[in-house]
Amino acid sequence: MNNSKNTYATEDLPFAAYLHVTKRLKFIGCERGDRRVAFVFSDPQGEGEALFIAYLDGAEAPTARFYESVKLLRKLMDAGTGSEHGHRFNR
């Protein structure tokens, strides 16, 4: 998993769904590692770690949309596509 200056990556599916639903960071796609998949988000302001701490402290997201996001991200992960627009995984 590679968090660069402008991106934030997480292997935590529920947290990725939270970011996706709340649109706090823009979902870019998936990155396949040796054994796991990371969900990559645009993070030009470097907010990823602070958002993760807020998430752990009980940040909220609409339940139905959260559930739909988990299903979408798992589908992308399982299908081998890297984003909602069908881009392939970064390797």
Answer whether residue 2 is part of any domain: no
Per DSSP, the residues of 33-63 read: -SS-EEEEEE-TT--HHHHHHHHHTT----H
Spatial separation of the C-alpha atoms in residues 61 and 67, rounded to whole Å: 10
- pLDDT class for 80, splitting at 50, 70, 90? low
More confident residue, 1 or 52: 52
What is the residue range of 24's domain? 7-79
How many structural domains is the chain composed of?
A: 1
Answer whether residue 58 is part of any domain: yes
Q: pTM of this prediction?
A: 0.78
More confident residue, 61 or 26: 26
Answer whether residue 90 is part of any domain: no
**64 Cα distance to chain centroid:** 17
Answer whether residue 12 is part of any domain: yes
For 62-78, the pLDDT digits (tens) are: 889 999 999 999 998 88
